[in-house]
Amino acid sequence: MEDPRPTLIIHARVEISAQALEAIVENAKKIEGCDERGRYHVDTADKVGEMISRFLFEKDFESYAQNIQNFPRT
């Protein structure tokens, strides 16, 4: 993902549906393919992070985060 703004990599816990995770794993395997032994060598955790980062960038998470009305109440 090319973003002209400076970015940081953070490690965070996120909640996603099992179906979303299954779709990411399935599609990552299709894209990467397997080796001659039928093994897949794709880091699906990295793919999850890449997909979430791309989604947040495309949906302008920066503006969403700047709006105080979007912060959860404790």
pLDDT in tens, 19-71: 999 999 999 999 999 999 999 999 999 999 999 999 999 999 999 999 999 99
Least confident of 5-9, 16-20, 53-57: 5-9
Closest CA to 61 of 25, 7, 22: 7
The number of folded domains in the chain is: 1
Does some domain include residue 41? yes
Domain that holds residue 58: 18-70
Decide: pTM greater than 0.95.
no
Does some domain include residue 26? yes
Does some domain include residue 8? no
Does some domain include residue 2? no
Does some domain include residue 65? yes
Does some domain include residue 32? yes
Does some domain include residue 43? yes
- Run of H or E including 63: helix 61-66
Does some domain include residue 5? no
How far is the CA of 42 from the CAs of 29, 47, 72, in angstroms? Answer: 7, 8, 35
Nearest-angstrom CA–CA distance, 34 and 55: 27
